[in-house]
Amino acid sequence: GQSLEQPSEVTAVEGAIVQINCTYQTSGFYGLSWYQQHDGGAPTFLSYNALDGLEETGRFSSFLSRSDSYGYLLLQELQMKDSASYFCAVRDLAGANNLFFGTGTRLTVIP
């Protein structure tokens, strides 16, 4: 089986930096993905880490440590439009070929 843990809510100030953590347990690990979802909308892909280290894409970065079964999403220069839910996800090929999602972190950016 697999499990993912994320904080349920995070609040940060516009212009600041915020880190959203994700710890996982899977019987087989094939990379950690991050998705963003605005209220009532479609999740959109942000990043994928298969190897340890930091991947940077503009204001967003994602980090993975396979030895610690841990990753995080780092959002810099926060904007009001970054208010959304953020999901980490892993594939576990021990079961169905399934992208297994965490319960999500609701980020609120305040002025």
Q: Which residues bind other proteins (CB under 8 A)?
A: 4, 8, 30-31, 33, 35, 40-45, 48, 50, 87, 89, 91, 95-104
- 2-40 burial string, b = 16+ CB within 10 Å, else e? bebebeeebebeeeeebebebbbebeebeebbbbbbeee
**Count of CB atoms within 10 A of residue 74's CB?**
15
CB of 96 to other proteins, least distance (A): 6
> Which residue's CB is nearer to other proteins, number 56 or number 77?
56
> Which residue's CB is nearer to other proteins, number 40 or number 111?
40
CB of 91 to other proteins, least distance (A): 6
CB of 27 to other proteins, least distance (A): 14
The single-letter DSSP state of residue 1 is: -
> Which residue's CB is nearer to other proteins, number 31 or number 66?
31
Contact (Cβ atoms closer than 8 angstroms) between residue 92 and residue 27: yes
Reduced to 3 states, what is the DSSP secondary structure of residue 82? helix
> Which residue's CB is nearer to other proteins, number 53 or number 96?
96
CB of 59 to other proteins, least distance (A): 19
The single-letter DSSP state of residue 93 is: T
